[in-house]
Structure 1
Amino acid sequence: MTVPYWELVETFTRASGPGGQHVNKTSTAVELRWNVDASSVPAWLKARFRRIWKNRMTKDGDVIVDASEHRSQARNRDAARERLTSMIRKATQKPKRRIPTRPGRGAIERRIKAKKEVGEKKALREKIKRSDL
């Protein structure tokens, strides 16, 4: 699966954090945008990508990937593109069907035993009534 380069929009900004004079004058941080809705990838991939990465998308359907961990702009560009590639790769994989299971008898018994112990501990916290003496 390939995404044409003209669908990607890169903007460069100054990276935050320490770095002295170099960081104050060079724009090394990369923000990579890809509009999933307007892309030329198949519809099934768009739908699956939207479902998996909906928290990373804007209302317009853009996915924003930031990279600023390297000192050079070229390495940050590669890092941002690699992150987007891994996101797309994850969306192309068919999800595994979850087979529902029930807890075993031992797990149920351990849970009930733990609940009873907590109840007994709380019962010991009750005040002693004068009539009980």
Structure 2
Amino acid sequence: MGPVVPTVIPESEVELSAMRAQGAGGQNVNKVSSAIHLRFDIRNSSLAPDHKDRLLELRDSRITRDGVLVIKAQTHRSQDMNRAEAWGRLQELVDSVALPPRVRRPTKPTRASQKRRLETKNLRSQVKVLRGPVRQEP
């Protein structure tokens, strides 16, 4: 397979809103709406159907039952940097499901690996036997 081409997400499908950030930051946190709340409706997006399915199957707490991905970025002091971080996280998540998972083909253990396994089991058994009570023979 060739290199993965990143999926472009149209800005019209993403809802951005600014809010006050939580945590430390003093007066800046109390006055400035620098945190970004990004909402992306997966089901109503222009992504390919298989991308949508794989995104919705993710066990990610940021995806609501309605299929809306909610990302909150508030690590930076500036709104622009938080907006860029939120977009980056959205793009990273969408790109993570771009390739379908590889199908695992079950294989049989080799004869050598079976032999090694039995030998280590036998060694372990001997160690445990030696740990038992000491028997005196007449």
Shift of 1:99: 3.4
Counterpart residue number, 2:9: 3
Counterparts of residues 1-133 of structure 1 (less than 5 Å): 1-53=7-59, 55-101=61-107, 104-105=113-114, 106-107=116-117, 109-110=119-120, 113-114=123-124
Query: 1 or 2 for the larger relative contact order (CA 8 Å, sep ≥6)?
Result: 2
Shift of 1:107: 3.9
Shift of 1:98: 2.2
Residue identity matched to 1:88? V
Residue identity matched to 2:103? R
What is the TM-score with the length of structure 1 in the denominator?
0.76
- Mean CA deviation greater in 60-69 or 45-54: 45-54
The one-character-per-residue Cα deviations of 1:23-58 (angstroms, maximum 9, x if unpaired) are 111111111110001112221211122123554311
The one-character-per-residue Cα deviations of 1:39-98 (angstroms, maximum 9, x if unpaired) are 122212111221235543111110111211111110000000001001111111132222
**Higher helix fraction (1 or 2):** 1
- Mean CA deviation greater in 18-27 or 43-52: 43-52
Quickly say closer, same or farther: Cα 1:18–1:56, change in 2 above 3 A: closer
List alignment gaps of at least 5 residues for structure 1: 125-133
Percent of aligned pairs with the same residue?
32
Corresponding residue SS for 2:93: helix
Separation in 1 of the partners of 2:128 and 2:34?
56
Residue identity matched to 2:120? R
List alignment gaps of at least 5 residues for structure 2: 1-6, 134-138
- Mean CA deviation greater in 44-53 or 79-88: 44-53
What is the TM-score with the length of structure 2 in the denominator?
0.73
Separation in 1 of the partners of 2:36 and 2:79?
7
Residue identity matched to 1:99? R
Quickly say closer, same or farther: Cα 1:23–1:112, change in 2 above 3 A: farther
